[in-house]
Amino acid sequence: MSRDDTSRREFLKAVGGAAATGTVAATAGCTSDISGGGGESGLSGTLVYARGDHPANYDPQQTTSGEVAKVTNQVFDSLIRFEAGSGGTLADSLATDYSLEGTTATLTLREDVTFHDGEEFTAADAKATVDRFTDEEYDFYLGGENRSGYGPFTFGDWVESIDASSDYELTFELTQQYAPFLRNLAMFAAAILSKSQIESFEGSGEPQVALGEEPIGTGPFEFAELDNENNRVRLEANTEYWGDGPNVAEVVFREITENSTRASSVINGESHITDNLDSQSFQQLQDNDSAELVSKNGINVGYMAFNMERREEFRSQAVRQAVSHAVDTQAIVDDIYQGFAANADQPLPPDVAGHNEEIEPYPTDKDEAESLLEEAGVEPFEFELATFSNPRGYNPSPIQTANQVKSDLEEIGFTVNVNQFSTFSSYLDYTDQGKHDACFLGWYTDNADPDNFLYVLLDPKVPMDAVPDGQDWVSRDTEGYSTLNAAGWANTEYMETVREAQATYDSGTREELYKEASQIAHDEAPWVFLDYAQTLRGIHQSVNSDTFTVSSVGGPYLETVEIDSE
């Protein structure tokens, strides 16, 4: 429900509308009695969401993890949200009216909203939220070492000033035209924090880790318990919530690392919903009567990033292309992912405007791979491939995928040492620090805008003149560098194209620029493009299907979910 000019609305419709076929759902965490719960709220029922990992910090400004977002999206609201099930349509949230004209974004805020501690929500909370994430002069700035990579591209690179002088009017003045800005305001990292809580800490930096242990928001559920000993998070219904719902007394997120055990927990009625499934758990859920497997097109990409800063060999385009030809991505999507994914050929998934239909995946061709290595004058070498263990939607079987890559590359003389991490949080810390030679990563769209893939993941976000002449990579200590660019890739032609697109409000022009950028990324191969995965959820029959909405962007929307008591 953006109030922008016509061309911008058309572009957002193209971006988000195609995603109506894509979805990413959610609910629940774990107890032995999934119909229990209740209390002073008058509501009953405990909604249980089983997941593969348990982060210990739920500060939306300190993470890039989707596992954190599943929880924080229940506790916090953003200024704008994505309409459930729409694939990216904007809708009112803490703002009831919003527009972007030139470099000015204007929002009218919802009145009579309170935080979970009873404090009233006003424009001052929104300003403090952005300042904490981006303003080094703010006394309660989170700190460059503590904030996530979302800070710069969500707000920091674009917001010049914020006028919060009126309680219910908010104006952002941007440094330039920036087409995705309103959509950024709906992302999980743009969750609105309490100014009172932010300023209850003694100062910037490390002490604010405590906010992630007891977060206070305006969302449909209140943070009740962080049980790290048992790898559980418990939320309670916010009976003062301004919107629809919630319809259950509690939500519990529970870690079950083993895929088959997590699927069994849904089948046996110990959990309501689970996600990030592998081929074995797909089959479990398909072959029973008490649960179902829900599959929708997802807006995501899975990839293997080459670390050009760490390994000189990967600075050669021919070497990167050689590896891309050697890895049998068709076997990965067909045999390991059991057909619940398609071969990737570029950073943008098919359901995002700007996806270049003319591009084809790299064909598996070991002879071509060897020829490219010979052309580059590089002998096959030994390198580390870092991988996570817990399944992700874009890589549901990471260990099997790593072994496939290892086997394929060893056929042409490489030695691949798989470095397996037990938790996703520690894995992200490792790759953010650039310690990997190569690594598996992936991305679910935050806002259904092509910028969210092409700029966020593959532009290093450094000044153009910081890239040395004749070089297509930069070091991580370059000022402004974004750790979301796990490859260290810095192709100036690509950067210029993507930056021009994000400053353009004409939908047709933007789309053509993104097609050009996608072609450059394909040809330069900073990643092995692995897959575009479907979104899969295992759902117990006790979930009222009319109240559960699977969505490709935002969510999970647990506030509307109802569960049967029997």
Q: What is the CA radius of gyration of the chain?
A: 23
Of 36-45, 115-124, 230-239, least confident by mean pLDDT is 36-45
Of 85-99, 254-268, 269-283, 297-311, least confident by mean pLDDT is 269-283
- % of residues, the chain, pLDDT over 90: 76
pLDDT tens digits along 423-451 = 888 999 999 999 999 999 999 899 999 99
- DSSP 8-state class, residue 201: S
Has residue 566 got a pLDDT over 60?
Answer: no
HSE value, Cβ hemisphere, 13 Å, CA-based, for 517: 31
Has residue 238 got a pLDDT over 50?
Answer: yes
Would you give the end-to-end CA distance of the chain in angstroms?
39
Which whole-number Å values give the CA distances from 519 to 83, 95, 306, 441, in the listed order? 31, 38, 18, 21
Q: Where exactly are the structural domains of the chain?
A: 24-76+219-290+541-566, 79-207, 300-534
Which whole-number Å values give the CA distances from 556 to 23, 68, 275, in the listed order? 10, 12, 11
Has residue 10 got a pLDDT over 70?
Answer: no
pLDDT tens digits along 328-383 = 999 999 999 988 899 999 999 998 999 999 999 999 999 999 999 999 999 999 99
Please count the other Cβ atoms lying within 10 Å of the Cβ belonging to residue 112: 8
H/E run at residue 334: none
pLDDT of residue 41: 61
Written as six digits, the tokens of 4 are 């922008």
Residue at token pair 């200590």: 477
What confidence category does residue 58 fall into, taking pLDDT thresholds of 50, 70 and 90? very high
Pairing between β-strand 273-274 and β-strand 46-51 as defined by DSSP bridges: parallel
Dist. CA 485–CA 305, nearest whole Å: 9
Architecture of domain 300-534: Roll (3.10)
H/E run at residue 286: helix 279-286
In this prediction the pTM is 0.84
Please give the average per-residue pLDDT across 119-138, as a whole number: 96
Dist. CA 208–CA 198, nearest whole Å: 8
- DSSP 8-state class, residue 211: G
Dist. CA 394–CA 256, nearest whole Å: 19
- DSSP assignment of 303-333, as one string? EEEE-TTT-GGGG-HHHHHHHHHHS-HHHII
Which residue in 277, 188, 221 sits closest to 46, CA to CA?
221
Has residue 2 got a pLDDT over 80?
Answer: no
- % of residues, the chain, pLDDT over 70: 91
- DSSP assignment of 356-396, as one string? -TT--PPPP-HHHHHHHHHHHT----EEEEEEESS-BTTBS
Please give the average per-residue pLDDT across 32-52, as a whole number: 71
Of 247-261, 278-292, 529-543, least confident by mean pLDDT is 278-292
Crossing angle (nearest 10°) for helices 451-458 and 492-502: 140
HSE value, Cβ hemisphere, 13 Å, CA-based, for 510: 27
Written as six digits, the tokens of 441 are 């990563």
In words, the CATH class of domain 24-76+219-290+541-566 is alpha beta
Has residue 7 got a pLDDT over 70?
Answer: no
SS (H, E, C) 26-37: CCCCCCCCCCCC
Burial environment of residue 229 by CB neighbours within 10 A (0 to 12, 13 to 18, 19 or more)? exposed
Please count the other Cβ atoms lying within 10 Å of the Cβ belonging to residue 393: 22
Has residue 35 got a pLDDT over 50?
Answer: no
pLDDT of residue 21: 29
pLDDT of residue 205: 52
301 or 210, which is more confident? 301
Has residue 4 got a pLDDT over 60?
Answer: no
pLDDT of residue 22: 29
Residue type (1 letter), 23: T
What confidence category does residue 548 fall into, taking pLDDT thresholds of 50, 70 and 90? confident
How many helices (DSSP H) and strands (DSSP E) are in the chain? 16, 18
CATH dotted code for 79-207: 3.90.76.10
